[in-house]
Amino acid sequence: MALKLKTKHFLTGEELSREELTELLTLAETVRTERKAGKTRTELAGKNVSLVFEKPSLRTRMSFTVALFELGAHAIELVSSFRKKESPEDTALVIAQYSHGIMVRTFEHENLDRMSKNCPVPIINGLSDSHHPCQVLADLQTLQQSFGKLAGLKLAYVGDGNNMLNSILLLMPYLGVHVTYACPKGFEPNAFIVKKAKARAKEGGGSITAVANPKSAVEGADAIYTDVWASMGQEDEELEREKIFKDYQVNETLYAASGKPNAIVMHCMPMVRGKEITESMADHPNSVIYRQAENRMHAQKALLLGLLAR
């Protein structure tokens, strides 16, 4: 199938309609199946995409590099700091002279907004402090693989109200998923994003519910999701956060509170075993954590095809 996205840039995921998201997920599953069968694609032959890393990376680097290679394109890695000398605008315009697209993994989301303002080639958000939409594309694919549907599923998120939760709220309920989250006081997701996400949830048939404690969040959940308690750039807060988040660990007791023996366990990684998730839950038979990581590649292949195969 051919996917042609109307948007030029992919910064938060809000750029895509429900129909486009659904088509993207279908294509992601198609390319996954094709890869397993040894089938190759060449739609991006002769193109190159620059991968700009202000933050270190494992999954983003590997998944985009392999995805581009397997679509016939070339990946060019750049290590950049927008805090020094060259502005994000100039950086994007210079890279655009050489590349057909730019993936950026950065700190301030403003960098992406500034880069995309006048950039003639697509900008893809590989991660920012506010949003992680590529991960949620992979998560949606993982949910669909696990349950054969998205609409009507309940996903419980337990932990920090960070970029991961922001993107989950913006995208999952828009496709009919009911998201319930529990965060410690003072660590809730961005209020403006929550307001936008609730409006999108009404449009998409999903819902968003905030609860006071993790046990209430996971009751009846089909999927239980968590993330690290201290993200990159918050290392100096790590010990204090461990005290605040100690009751938000995904463990056997919390998992049992879901009341669903087939509930899946999700984590975007990297994970700190023994902190936000126990060893036994990370390696639980219903853990789909490594499948999420694999699906980054498939979902991003679909995204790249939708943006660049024109």
User: Residue 180 and residue 202: Cα distance in Å, rounded?
Assistant: 15
310 classed as catalytic: no
CA distance 310 to 308: 6
Q: Is the backbone of residue 180 left (phi > 0), alpha (psi -120 to 50) or beta?
A: beta
CB 85, CB 105: distance < 8 Å: no
Using alpha carbons, list the distances in angstroms from residue 8 to 101, 196, 272: 10, 21, 36
Is 227 part of the annotated catalytic residue set? Answer: yes
The reply to whether 268 belongs to the active site is: yes
Catalytic (active site) residue 296: yes
Q: What distance in Å separates the CA atoms of residue 307 and residue 20, rounded to the nearest whole number?
A: 12
Q: What is the 3-state secondary structure (H, E, C) of 201-247?
A: HHHHCCEEEECCCHHHHHCCCCEEEECCCCCCCCHHHHHHHHHHHHH
Contacts of 249 (CB under 8 A, 6+ apart): 275, 276, 277, 278
- The neighbour count for residue 42, using CB atoms within 10 Å, is 11
Catalytic position from the list 129, 160, 222, 227:
227
Catalytic residue among 59, 109, 129, 135: 135
Are residues 3 and 302 in contact, defined by beta-carbon separation less than 8 angstroms?
A: yes
**Given 32, 114, 131, 296, the catalytic residue:** 296
Contact (Cβ atoms closer than 8 angstroms) between residue 271 and residue 297: no
Of 59, 105, 131, 241, the active-site residue reads: 105
Q: Do 211 and 154 contact (CB within 8 A), yes or no?
A: no
CA distance from start to end of the chain: 13
Which of these is catalytic: 132, 178, 200, 284?
A: 132
Cβ neighbours of residue 233 under 8 Å, at least 6 residues apart?
A: 107, 129
Tell me if residue 247 is catalytic: no
Q: Looking at the annotation, which residues are catalytic?
A: 105, 132, 135, 227, 268, 296
